[in-house]
């Protein structure tokens, strides 16, 4: 998979790329590249944003700047780019990122992520360049970078070789193996701590009973409970 991230803060992704599960998939051939729109701006002084028409606080990422950056990187009109690959603008009001969307994106050969800053994007970026608008939650971050990292983290751990043990991904929360439910609880040594005992079945060595217990706990966690937020 090829992931390009358009961000004014490419240095943030150096730390992200060095994390084990990310570096594992990068070593296995996945590419993650940052492009800084500031390096391609046609405006003087490295300008990339401007004040919003109609007034209001903050700055808005300019459509002409992103047009130049996308065109310089891909060598095509960005309007045509979204026919070739998913171009995802990160914004608080977009489609909420969930396991279904993560699975869908993990099956793509290439992704382009657009990180807004300050007040976000000129809307024409979203209208004409993006194929998707994705949100990681209904709250406002100071930019799309952390959202892009969350999306990449969730997608990359689906790729072969990301996790040491492939079973970790197969039986994790919301997977088909768990019928879309959250994962069952885990315990490790000590078997008893301050009087809090690990469930006996997990110490029993009976694999079928353990599997049945885990499925049951997972189903319980998936059942709507009062106060649990539904989307």
Report the residue number, 5 or 91, with the smaller CB distance to ligand ADE: 91
Smallest CA-to-CA distance from 63 within 127, 4, 140 is with: 127
The answer to whether the beta carbons of residues 117 and 87 sit under 8 Å apart is no
Prior bond of 190 cis (ω within 30°): yes
Report the residue number, 142 or 188, with the smaller CB distance to ligand ADE: 142
The CB-of-223 to ligand ADE minimum distance in angstroms stands at 28
**Neighbour tally for 167: CB within 10 Å:** 10
The CB-of-35 to ligand ADE minimum distance in angstroms stands at 18
Report the residue number, 89 or 163, with the smaller CB distance to ligand ADE: 89
Report the residue number, 92 or 222, with the smaller CB distance to ligand ADE: 92
The answer to whether the beta carbons of residues 57 and 119 sit under 8 Å apart is yes
The CB-of-92 to ligand ADE minimum distance in angstroms stands at 4
Report how far residue 118's alpha carbon sits from residue 57's, in angstroms, rounded to the nearest whole number. Answer: 9
The CB-of-96 to ligand ADE minimum distance in angstroms stands at 9
**Site residues, ligand ADE (CB under 6 A):** 90-92, 116, 135-137, 139-141, 144, 147
């Amino acid at each position: 998979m090829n992931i390009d991230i358009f961000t004014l803060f490419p240095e943030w992704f150096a730390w992200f790329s060095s994390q084990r599960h990310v570096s594992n998939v990068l070593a296995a051939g996945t590419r993650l590249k940052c492009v800084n729109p500031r390096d391609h701006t046609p405006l003087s002084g490295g300008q990339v944003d401007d004040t919003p028409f109609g007034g209001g606080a903050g700055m808005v990422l300019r459509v002409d700047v992103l047009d130049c950056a996308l065109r310089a990187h891909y060598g095509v009109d960005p309007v045509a780019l979204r026919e070739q690959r998913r171009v995802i603008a990160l914004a608080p009001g977009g489609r909420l990122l969930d396991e279904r969307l993560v699975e869908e994106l993990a099956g793509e050969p290439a992704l382009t992520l657009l990180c807004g800053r300050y007040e976000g994007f000129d809307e024409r970026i979203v209208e004409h360049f993006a194929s998707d608008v994705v949100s990681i939650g209904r709250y406002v971050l100071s930019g799309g970078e952390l959202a892009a990292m969350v999306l990449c983290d969730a997608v990359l751990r689906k790729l072969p070789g990301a996790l040491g043990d492939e079973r970790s991904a197969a039986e994790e929360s919301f997977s088909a193996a768990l019928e879309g439910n959250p994962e069952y609880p885990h315990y490790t040594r000590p078997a008893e701590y301050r009087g809090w005992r690990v469930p006996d079945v997990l110490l029993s060595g009976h694999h079928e009973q353990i599997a049945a217990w885990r499925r049951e706990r997972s189903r319980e966690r998936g059942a709507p409970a009062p106060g649990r937020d539904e989307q």
